[in-house]
Amino acid sequence: MTVTPTDPGTLSSSTSVYKMAGCGVTFTAQHTTLINVAVLGQIASDTPGDGAIAQIAYGTGSAPAKNASATGTQAGSIFSDSSAGTTKQQLTCLALFSATAQTTYWLDLAVLAVTGGNAVLNGLTFVIAEY
Contact 25, 63 (CB under 8 A): yes
Overall number of domains in the chain: 1
CATH code, 71: 2.60.120
Give residue 71's identity as a one-letter amino acid code.
T
The 10s digit of each residue's pLDDT in 61-97 is: 999 999 999 999 999 999 988 766 777 889 999 999 9
Given the DSSP bridges, would you call strands 19-20 and 89-99 parallel, antiparallel or unpaired?
A: unpaired
Closest CA to 113 of 90, 84, 82, 86: 82
The 10s digit of each residue's pLDDT in 6-38 is: 888 888 766 578 899 999 999 999 988 899 999
In Å, what is the CA distance from 13 to each residue of 3, 46, 117? Answer: 24, 11, 8
Kindly report the number of other CB atoms within 10 A of residue 21's CB atom. 28
Q: Which domain holds residue 66?
A: 2-130
All residues at 6 or more sequence positions from 80 whose CB lies less than 8 Å from its CB, including other chains: 51, 53, 114
